[in-house]
């Protein structure tokens, strides 16, 4: 295994595992604010109880997000030192701002939010929930700004010694790519939050335990779910795709498996890319749709991989193709499921319709897969560049960290993260098993100390 591949897997593995947690943190933070708002406005204790239940899951999830997040900031230096050295003047900035503007805020108000409910007024407690939500969403924004600059570098110049620096701070923060990607990504996080909330709700209703709380979870989860699933595709996914087709045409061609430039290009729904022979095996194609999606007309010409020099094809291409198709396929399924569920909710039949409750209960892993696949599409799509069009990935990694040392720490992370996964599942299952209807006094008996 070459050092380059190893460092790519190292970052890819740790970031993939890390992002399982923040996506729920960000989605759930919003939904908890919704629950707390309803509780406050209607003066309805059931919604407060629901919020308290999700705060317990939020606490464990947040902890895992924190501990797996710290290695990410350091890996730019440890595993990608040449990249860090040349671009630190640009992307170090949003990373530092994440710490200064988001982490301090979150760490200060999380403790108040999780354990201060009885010591402060309901309004103050709502405010602490809101600030935790703001903190987590600011954090997401700075990470997206960092990534967007790697996808679509703007507002920079190269100094005589070869390092990059920002020429316009606002230009960096308002990178169009960042704004589009942020909307798409946050909508994805809300999808994860809604599906998780729906799954627990459906479980309680199907089990006929805590079904009053379960119905609240389903109501909030389905409404948030149907909105976020639709915005995920239109407008955010749609705009993102068009913008990408304009600025990263090679990535789009590879995602779609379009080896040859075509007028009236069709969209491949299913099929296996054969990179050696440059064709799709067993294809299921809908004619003209790709041209229409990108250019709004079925006759437009879409650039294929044949117009891209071979050494600029994204690598590994089949993984990119599958990641994109998994994301898009699951996204379509999410809309179908949530629209049906929302319709039944509106007609007042959802809680008795078992054939919808079952998929709602079982589908919660799918948004995690879709979000991961979406990020793989973005990150593999950017290859072979670490900064699109400017710096190759093969020029970014730490040359002096041997593959033996890299493998050692990769295995270390894999082992440790396996244990973390087991701990997480056990602890969250216990919270779900115990249920939301714990008396306020019993809750005090479990003084966790997250701050």
Partner 1 sequence: MGFIWFWIVAVMIVAYVVFDGFDIGVGILHPFVARTDEEKQLVIRTIGPVWDGNEVWLLAGGGTLYFAFPLLYASAFSGFYLALMIVLWLLIMRALGVELRMHIHAHVWHAFFDGLFFISSALLAVFYGAALANVIRGVPLGSDGYFFLPLWTNWRLGPEPGILDWYTVIGGVLALTALALHGALYLIVKTENDLQFRARVAAKRLSLAVLVLTAVSLPATLAARPDGLDNYRSYPVLFIVPIVILAALAGVIYFSRTHDDSKAFGCSCVYLTMMLVGAAVALYPRLLPSSNDSANDITVQKALSGPHTLHVGLIWWGFGMCLAVMYFVIVYRMFKGKVSLEGGGYGH
The footprint of partner 1 on residues 80-109 (CB under 8 A) is 81-82, 84-93, 95-101, 103-105, 107-109
**118-147 positions binding partner 1, by CB under 8 A:** 118-119
**290-319 positions binding partner 1, by CB under 8 A:** none
**397-436 positions binding partner 1, by CB under 8 A:** 398-402, 405, 408-409, 412, 416, 420, 423, 427, 430
User: Between 249-256 and 238-247, two packed helices, what is the crossing angle to 10 degrees?
Assistant: 120
Q: How far is CA 382 from the centre of its chain?
A: 17
CA–CA gap between residue 380 and residue 373 (Å, rounded) = 10
* Residue 440 in the binding site for partner 1 (CB under 8 A): no
Closest to partner 1 by CB, 57 or 293: 57
x/- contact string, 360-399, with partner 1 (CB under 8 A)? Answer: --------------------------------------xx
Of the candidate residues 9, 12, 40, 111, the single one contacting partner 1 (CB under 8 A): 111
Peptide bond into 235 cis (omega under 30): yes
Of the candidate residues 20, 51, 114, 205, the single one contacting partner 1 (CB under 8 A): 114
DSSP state letter for 450: -
* Residue 178 in the binding site for partner 1 (CB under 8 A): no
- Asked if 232 and 331 touch (Cβ cutoff 8 Å), the reply is yes
* Residue 12 in the binding site for partner 1 (CB under 8 A): no
Of the candidate residues 15, 29, 55, 112, the single one contacting partner 1 (CB under 8 A): 112
Closest to 213 in 3D by CA, of 352, 49, 56: 49
Of the candidate residues 47, 76, 149, 210, the single one contacting partner 1 (CB under 8 A): 76
Of the candidate residues 5, 46, 73, 230, the single one contacting partner 1 (CB under 8 A): 73
> Of 42-50, 157-165, 240-248, 307-315, which part binds partner 1 (CB under 8 A)?
157-165
User: Between 176-207 and 365-382, two packed helices, what is the crossing angle to 10 degrees?
Assistant: 160
* Residue 329 in the binding site for partner 1 (CB under 8 A): no
Of the candidate residues 3, 55, 148, 166, the single one contacting partner 1 (CB under 8 A): 166
DSSP state letter for 154: -
**CB of residue 110 vs partner 1: minimum separation in angstroms?**
7
* Residue 63 in the binding site for partner 1 (CB under 8 A): yes
The CB density around residue 449, as the number of other CB atoms within 10 Å, is 7
> Of 31-39, 161-169, 230-238, 313-321, which part binds partner 1 (CB under 8 A)?
161-169
Of the candidate residues 284, 425, 440, 444, the single one contacting partner 1 (CB under 8 A): 444
Closest to partner 1 by CB, 128 or 213: 128
Closest to partner 1 by CB, 97 or 206: 97
Closest to partner 1 by CB, 112 or 265: 112
Closest to partner 1 by CB, 119 or 123: 119
Of the candidate residues 25, 48, 79, 231, the single one contacting partner 1 (CB under 8 A): 79
CA–CA gap between residue 318 and residue 302 (Å, rounded) = 20
Closest to partner 1 by CB, 77 or 329: 77
Closest to partner 1 by CB, 75 or 194: 75
Instruction: Quickly list DSSP for 294-326.
Output: HHSSTT-EE--GGGS-GGGS-SSHHHHHHHHHH
CA–CA gap between residue 304 and residue 266 (Å, rounded) = 12
Cα separations in angstroms, 205 against 214, 220, 353: 6, 14, 10
Find where tokens 């390092």 sit: 163
User: Between 3-42 and 403-434, two packed helices, what is the crossing angle to 10 degrees?
Assistant: 20
CA–CA gap between residue 36 and residue 56 (Å, rounded) = 14
**CB of residue 148 vs partner 1: minimum separation in angstroms?**
16
How many residues at the interface with partner 1, by CB under 8 A? 76
Helices (H) and strands (E) in the chain, counts: 16, 8
* Residue 162 in the binding site for partner 1 (CB under 8 A): no
Peptide bond into 384 cis (omega under 30): yes
Of the candidate residues 169, 234, 346, 358, the single one contacting partner 1 (CB under 8 A): 169
> Of 178-186, 188-196, 248-256, 439-447, which part binds partner 1 (CB under 8 A)?
439-447
- Asked if 39 and 51 touch (Cβ cutoff 8 Å), the reply is yes
CA–CA gap between residue 408 and residue 419 (Å, rounded) = 17
Of the candidate residues 1, 124, 159, 442, the single one contacting partner 1 (CB under 8 A): 159
Closest to partner 1 by CB, 262 or 405: 405
Closest to 86 in 3D by CA, of 346, 329, 398, 302: 398
Dihedral angle sign, alpha carbons of residues 288, 289, 290, 294: positive
Closest to 83 in 3D by CA, of 381, 378, 395: 395
């Amino acid at each position: 295994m070459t050092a380059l591949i190893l460092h790519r897997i190292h970052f890819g593995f740790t970031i993939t595992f890390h992002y399982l947690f923040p996506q729920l943190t960000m989605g759930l933070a919003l939904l908890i604010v919704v629950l707390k708002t309803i509780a406050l406005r209607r003066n309805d204790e059931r919604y407060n109880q629901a919020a308290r239940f999700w705060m317990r899951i939020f606490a464990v999830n947040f902890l895992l997000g924190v501990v797996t997040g710290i290695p990410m900031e350091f890996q730019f230096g440890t595993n990608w030192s040449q990249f860090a050295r040349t671009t630190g003047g640009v992307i170090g900035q949003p990373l530092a701002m994440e710490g200064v503007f988001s982490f301090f805020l979150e760490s200060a108000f999380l403790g108040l939010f999780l354990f201060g409910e009885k010591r402060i007024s309901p309004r103050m407690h709502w405010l602490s929930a809101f600030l935790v939500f703001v903190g987590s969403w600011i954090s997401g924004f700075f990470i997206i700004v960092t990534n967007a600059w790697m996808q679509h570098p703007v507002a920079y110049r190269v100094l005589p010694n070869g390092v990059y620096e920002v020429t316009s701070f606002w230009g960096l923060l308002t990178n169009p790519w960042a704004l589009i990607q942020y909307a798409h990504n946050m909508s994805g996080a809300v999808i994860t939050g809604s599906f998780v909330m729906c799954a627990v709700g459906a479980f309680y209703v199907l089990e006929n335990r805590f079904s009053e709380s379960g119905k609240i979870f389903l109501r909030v989860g389905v409404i948030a779910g149907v909105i976020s699933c639709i915005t995920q595709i239109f407008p955010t996914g749609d705009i993102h795709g068009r913008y990408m087709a304009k600025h990263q045409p090679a990535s789009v061609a590879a995602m779609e498996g379009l080896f040859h430039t075509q007028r009236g290009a069709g969209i491949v729904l299913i099929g296996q890319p054969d990179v050696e022979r440059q064709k799709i095996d067993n294809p299921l194609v809908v004619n003209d749709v790709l041209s229409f999606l990108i250019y709004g007309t079925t006759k437009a010409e879409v650039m294929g991989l044949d117009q891209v020099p071979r050494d600029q094809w994204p690598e590994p291409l089949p993984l990119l193709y599958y990641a994109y198709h998994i994301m898009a396929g699951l996204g379509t399924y999410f809309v179908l499921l949530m629209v049906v569920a929302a319709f039944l909710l509106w007609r007042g039949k959802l809680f008795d319709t078992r054939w919808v409750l079952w998929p709602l209960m079982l589908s919660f892993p799918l948004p995690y897969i879709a979000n991961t696949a979406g990020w793989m599409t973005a990150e593999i799509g950017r290859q072979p560049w670490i900064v699109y069009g400017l710096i190759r990935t093969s020029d970014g990694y730490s040359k002096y960290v041997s593959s033996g040392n890299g493998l050692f720490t990769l295995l270390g992370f894999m082992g440790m993260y396996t244990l973390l996964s087991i701990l997480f599942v056990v602890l969250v299952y216990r919270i779900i098993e115990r249920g939301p209807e714990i008396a306020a006094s019993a809750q005090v008996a479990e003084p966790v100390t997250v701050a």
